[in-house]
Amino acid sequence: MNYLRISTRLYTQPPLKFPKELKGLKSFSVSFIPKKCTCNIYIENDNLWIKHKDFFSKVFIPNKEDIGKPLSFILQKYFSKEKSEKFIYSDCWGSVVLRNEAWLKFENVISFYKKQDSYNKDYNLYVTAEEMLKLFCSKENIDSPAVIIEYERFFERITDILKYNY
What pTM, to 2 d.p., does this model score? 0.82
Percent of the chain with pLDDT over 90: 46
The per-residue pLDDT for range 14-29, each reduced to its tens digit, is: 999 999 999 999 889 9
Domain ranges of the chain: 2-57+99-165, 63-98
Tens digits of residue pLDDT in 43-58: 998 999 999 999 988 8
pLDDT-derived band at 89, boundaries 50, 70, 90 = low
Rounded to an integer, what distance in angstroms lies between the CA atom of residue 4 and that of residue 89?
42
CB 3 within 8 A of CB 104: yes
**If DSSP codes are grouped into helix, strand and coil, which group holds residue 97?**
strand
- Whole-number average pLDDT of the chain: 86
